Amino acid sequence: TKWIYDFSEGNKDQKDLLGGKGANLAEMTNLGLPVPPGFTITTDACRYYLEHGDTPPELDQQVIEHLTALEKAMGKTLGDPDDPLLVSVRSGAAASMPGMMETVLNVGLNDESVQGLARQSGSERFAWDSYRRLIQMFGKTVLDIDGELFEHALDEVKREQGTDLDLDLDAEHLKDVVARFKAIVRDETGQDFPQDPRAQMDMAINAVFDSWNSDRAIIYRRRERIPSDAGTAVNVCSMVFGNLGSDSGTGVAFTRDPGSGAQGVYGDYLQNAQGEDVVAGIRNTVPLADLENIDKHAYDELMTTMSRLESHYRDLCDIEFTIERNKLWMLQTRVGKRTAAAAFVIATQLVDEGLIDMDEAVRRVTGDQLAQLMFPRFVSGGDAKQLTQGMNASPGAAVGKAVFSSEVAVQWADRGEKVVLVRRETNPDDLSGMIAAEGVLTSRGGKTSHAAVVARGMGKTCVCGAEELQVDTKAKKFTAPDGTEVNEGDVISIDGSTGRVWLGEVPVEPSSVVRYFEGEIDPESDEADDLVRSVHRILAHADEQRRLDVRTNADTPEDSARARRFGARGIGLCRTEHMFLGDRRQLVEKLILADGDEERQAALDALEPLQRQDFLEIFEAMDGLPVTVRLLDPPLHEFLPDLTELSVRVALAEERGEPDEGNLRLLAAVRGMHESNPMLGLRGVRLGLVVPGLFAMQVRAIAEAACERRRAGGDPRPEIMIPLVGAVQELEAIREESEKVLREVCERADVAIDALIGTMIEVPRAALTAGEIAGSAEFFSFGTNDLTQMTWGFSRDDVEAAFFHQYLDKGIFGVSPFESLDREGVGTLVELAVEAGRAARPDLKLGICGEHGGDPDSVHFFHEVGLDYVSCSPFRVPVARLEAGRAAL
Ligand code: ADP
Ligand code: MG
Ligand code: MG
């Protein structure tokens, strides 16, 4: 096996084998850039080492061969007493793990070769500085000695010299430092600092291998979902020296601003220093632009090199370099990390520079990045005090007065106040309060709790699971861990992107990207900044490329209109249950409590005109585009008061000796309807079959609204969706009833309305019998929330807070299946249903309306299985457009 590659042998595409650093060092070498020669020991060797606890048997021989070749090329031998070759031993995994693993510089120095180095370089100070650095780094990372011991010893010498600057120490002082460092090694390990250069190198190599399994590396990998068995490569690189004097130095640079994407010179430089010093903040660095004055020649070469790297990698690069006596050396490069805003700006800049095409620009950005750009931002902390950090459930920045109930939220918002709704957790009753509030803060529940899911759907800022907060809704206050009490009316700020919660107002700025989507900023005008212009161009291209249509989930005219501005082509899910809340609750209660057909019909008759008005406005907002209306889905008892609260009220009334007839009846009804598992109970089509006239009323409202729109010259395109179907018979019964109503309404109005009737596929049985169901359905819309819940048997209201974090830790899944569609399981059901459905009815329309419709990975899946559209909340519409475009490339 070939375990070692010379820098001249590899290339940038071999990251898995050579690690990111090694692959890019090889690439730069082959570009003819000034890289100090060296070689890379592969990640294969690391994996062998981790598995067997020892290096592969051939490795030693291969190290000798490559080292000998290196020595020949450099004209020096490792640790030679007269003129030593020194090397760095550097870690470098395939996935970047910044600062997670180890690097040792100046390997090859010992008591003798330090003298040789001094003679050759003409600087004793430099030689001893390098030696003390070796012992310090080697001691810490290879010998596992507490780094503080070295730092204390160094500080002590500095103190004795009355300085706190490294540079004030001369050769004699540094010799003293070396002596003290060697003593530390002896004391801590019982052995002398190893003098054999080759032993130093081998020990350092093994230490890099071992660092793969250091605690912080393990934690980092888990968080970043990097496979734990990938291993790291080891780069052995001949040393160049930035600590040879003021004509030397070391620095880091970006080819453009990773924060904004702006072009220019970005980086830091430190004279007379070695590697770590720049980031360690030991001395003040200067801005890279100053290098032009310090060393014009090296600066110019660096600029040329950076632009070569950019055009070669066709992307922003970050760079580590060293200048040794006016000569530039490149020590590292990689395609650099950047903010979401910079990602967009840079992508279109590169198009304009002719380096990439628009397809590539669209590939270079992600829906997640776009989503980040859509939320308002806190400008900075100001003087607000941070109280705690909860979960970042729905991004955004919200500032408002703390309120502890939905009623107060609505009242205060109505009189123009900004409020943040604070609850222990939320339930469907809090919806009006959530809508009224700027943001929502809960102390319980995970990222898929009611608060989190609803807030994300509405594009509302939410911090959930802030468990350190004691929320007391009765007393209208919460208490922070430091004892701070926040009462109703106190202003708080919550950041849904970080989960941070402050007392007081943190300044906020609106997102220019959203103002652009809203049509408030013309991308061609001067008002548009680079970011808006890039987003506009990239989305336009994604729209051209995508095959998936994007619709929205909306149940108000305002949401519909906004989604349309955001680019939605119709509604994929209009939930009618939201239309049953608020003032209409009374009517719904009457419907549920109806004693006999007559009372029931009266309740339905009262609801119908209200429903009709809702649909009328939505059809108007979505004129000419399809509007999929889902008939009532949730269990009826959700529209009734809470069982416990009601029981208490009734009991109290009885105690006072004034029993309340109405409440007693209500209580009986609530009890009668109580289900231990409502999600699997009487809801959706089951309700439609059991409560006579309910679905017919809804269909009539839809049909009449459509006729009225048509008569007014509009172009309504209703689609009627039956939820929770598991058997074709259920669908057929409702379908017949609906068609009859449609016919009657149209005949009476003398208007032709062509309403599609279809179903949701959200019960596994529906997916498994999709062929039959397609016989009676003109469209399928995958309800992937319920489908996930029922396929996994996970109650989504419970599992996330209860144990999902453990599932994530144990790697049972990398991401919650409610967030990103589980391809193997739920996805297989979707595929089955698509295939069987299309086979039975070739023109079957296929869409998806679960939360997954706005999730980037899931959008790619829906593209792959050939759906016609995805539907998502208004704020996810641009994200879905972008990802649908990316999926099509
Ligand atoms: P990290 O992965 O933490 O960035 P590196 O292996 O890049 O670690 O090493 C850190 C720094 O050490 C480099 O940025 C560079 O300044 C310095 N360094 C590494 N190898 C050499 C070398 N051969 N010559 C000079 N400096 C080096
Ligand atoms: Mg580095
Ligand atoms: Mg459902």
Atom of ligand 1 nearest to the CA of 92: 2
| Rounded mean pLDDT, 475-485 | 95
Q: Which ligand gives the minimal distance to the CA of 105?
A: 1
- Residue 798 has a pLDDT of 79
Identify which of 103, 234, 334 to mutate to test ligand 1's pocket (most ligand atoms within 8 A of the CB): 103
Atom of ligand 1 nearest to the CA of 237: 23
Rounded CA separation 1/23 (Å): 19
pLDDT for 579-617, tens place per residue?
Answer: 787 778 888 888 888 888 999 999 999 999 999 999 999
* Residue 783 assigned as binding residue: yes
Q: Which ligand gives the minimal distance to the CA of 240?
A: 1
pLDDT for 777-791, tens place per residue?
Answer: 999 999 999 999 999
Tell me the CA–centroid distance for residue 345 and ligand 1, in Å. Answer: 30
pTM of the model: 0.82
φ, ψ of residue 228 in degrees (nearest 5): -80, -10
CATH class assigned to 249-335? alpha beta
Atom 24 of ligand 1: nearest residue by CA position: 239
pLDDT for 386-418, tens place per residue?
Answer: 999 998 888 788 999 999 999 999 999 989 999
Rounded CA separation 508/398 (Å): 8
Please enumerate in sequence order all residues whose Cβ is within 8 A of that of 138, keeping only pairs 6 or more positions apart, or say none.
104, 107, 193, 200, 203, 204
Atom 7 of ligand 1: nearest residue by CA position: 332
Tell me the CA–centroid distance for residue 170 and ligand 2, in Å. Answer: 28
pLDDT band at 226 (very low <50, low <70, confident <90, very high): confident
Rounded CA separation 552/628 (Å): 10
Return the structure tokens found at 582: 């608020």
Rounded CA separation 820/826 (Å): 11
Give percent above pLDDT 90 in the chain.
74
- Residue 265 has a pLDDT of 81
375-510: which CATH number, 3.30.300.20, 3.40.50.410, 3.40.50.300, 3.50.30.10? 3.50.30.10
The per-residue pLDDT of the chain, averaged, comes to 92
| Rounded mean pLDDT, 624-646 | 89
* Residue 786 assigned as binding residue: yes
Higher pLDDT, 243 or 542: 542
- Residue 224 has a pLDDT of 67
| Rounded mean pLDDT, 375-379 | 82
Q: Which ligand gives the minimal distance to the CA of 849?
A: 3
Tell me the CA–centroid distance for residue 862 and ligand 3, in Å. Answer: 18
How many residues belong to the chain? Answer: 889
Return the structure tokens found at 168: 């004030």
* Residue 490 assigned as binding residue: no
pLDDT for 850-859, tens place per residue?
Answer: 889 999 999 9
- Residue 420 has a pLDDT of 97
- CA-CA distances (angstroms) from residue 511 to 111, 371, 396? 61, 11, 10
Atom 12 of ligand 1: nearest residue by CA position: 275
Query: How many CB atoms neighbour CB 663 within 10 A?
Result: 17
Higher pLDDT, 731 or 219: 731
Tell me the CA–centroid distance for residue 103 and ligand 1, in Å. Answer: 7
Identify which of 40, 322, 323, 329 to mutate to test ligand 1's pocket (most ligand atoms within 8 A of the CB): 322
- Residue 279 has a pLDDT of 61
Atom 13 of ligand 1: nearest residue by CA position: 275
Tell me the CA–centroid distance for residue 92 and ligand 1, in Å. Answer: 11
Higher pLDDT, 323 or 797: 323
Three-state DSSP class for residue 563: helix
β-strand partners of 719: 628, 756
Atom of ligand 1 nearest to the CA of 238: 23
List the CATH code of the domain at 546-633+689-888. Answer: 3.20.20.60
Q: Enumerate the active-site residues.
A: 450, 849
Pairing of strands 4-6, 38-41: antiparallel
Return the structure tokens found at 748: 């009476």
| Rounded mean pLDDT, 316-326 | 95
What are the sequence ranges of the domains in the chain?
Answer: 4-238, 249-335, 375-510, 546-633+689-888, 636-674
Rounded CA separation 324/243 (Å): 8
* Residue 630 assigned as binding residue: yes
- Residue 98 has a pLDDT of 66
* Residue 338 assigned as binding residue: no
Return the closest-CA partner of residue 35 out of 324, 337, 325. 324
Atom 8 of ligand 1: nearest residue by CA position: 103
* Residue 426 assigned as binding residue: no
pLDDT for 153-206, tens place per residue?
Answer: 999 999 999 988 888 899 999 999 999 999 999 999 999 999 999 999 999 999
* Residue 670 near residue 708, CB atoms below 8 Å: no
* Residue 67 near residue 191, CB atoms below 8 Å: no
Tell me the CA–centroid distance for residue 275 and ligand 1, in Å. Answer: 5
β-strand partners of 503: 385, 492
| Rounded mean pLDDT, 714-735 | 97
Rounded CA separation 466/431 (Å): 20
- CA-CA distances (angstroms) from residue 370 to 147, 340, 881? 42, 7, 11
| Rounded mean pLDDT, 549-575 | 96
Look at residue 111 and tell me whether its pLDDT is greater than 60.
Answer: yes
List all residues whose CB is within 6 A of at least one atom of ligand 1.
Answer: 36, 88, 90, 99, 103, 105, 237-240, 250, 275-276, 320, 322, 331-332
Q: Look at the alpha carbons of 202, 203, 206, 207 in this order and tell me if their dihedral is positive or negative.
A: negative
Return the structure tokens found at 155: 């500080």
- Residue 579 has a pLDDT of 79
Q: Look at the alpha carbons of 283, 285, 290, 293 in this order and tell me if their dihedral is positive or negative.
A: positive
The domain made up of 4-238 has a fold known as Dna Ligase; domain 1 (3.30.1490)
Please enumerate in sequence order all residues whose Cβ is within 8 A of that of 43, keeping only pairs 6 or more positions apart, or say none.
16, 17, 18, 19, 93, 94, 230, 231, 232, 233
Return the structure tokens found at 421: 């709704």
Q: How far is CA 219 from the centre of its chain?
A: 18
| Rounded mean pLDDT, 741-753 | 95
Q: Which ligand gives the minimal distance to the CA of 334?
A: 2
Atom of ligand 1 nearest to the CA of 320: 14
- Which residues have beta carbons under 5 A from ligand 3 (an ion)? 762, 783, 786
Atom 23 of ligand 1: nearest residue by CA position: 239
Return the structure tokens found at 349: 């800049």
Atom 20 of ligand 1: nearest residue by CA position: 88
Rounded CA separation 132/193 (Å): 11
Look at residue 223 and tell me whether its pLDDT is greater than 70.
Answer: no
Tell me the CA–centroid distance for residue 64 and ligand 2, in Å. Answer: 25
Rounded CA separation 194/696 (Å): 87
Residue with tokens 């609850």: 423
Identify which of 88, 89, 201, 328 to mutate to test ligand 1's pocket (most ligand atoms within 8 A of the CB): 88
Look at residue 281 and tell me whether its pLDDT is greater than 60.
Answer: no
Per mean pLDDT, which range of 191-200, 345-354, 606-615, 637-646 is the poorest? 637-646
Look at residue 282 and tell me whether its pLDDT is greater than 70.
Answer: no
| Rounded mean pLDDT, 244-260 | 90
Tell me the CA–centroid distance for residue 735 and ligand 2, in Å. Answer: 65
pLDDT for 35-93, tens place per residue?
Answer: 999 999 999 999 999 999 999 999 999 999 999 999 999 999 999 999 999 999 999 99
Q: Which ligand gives the minimal distance to the CA of 635?
A: 3
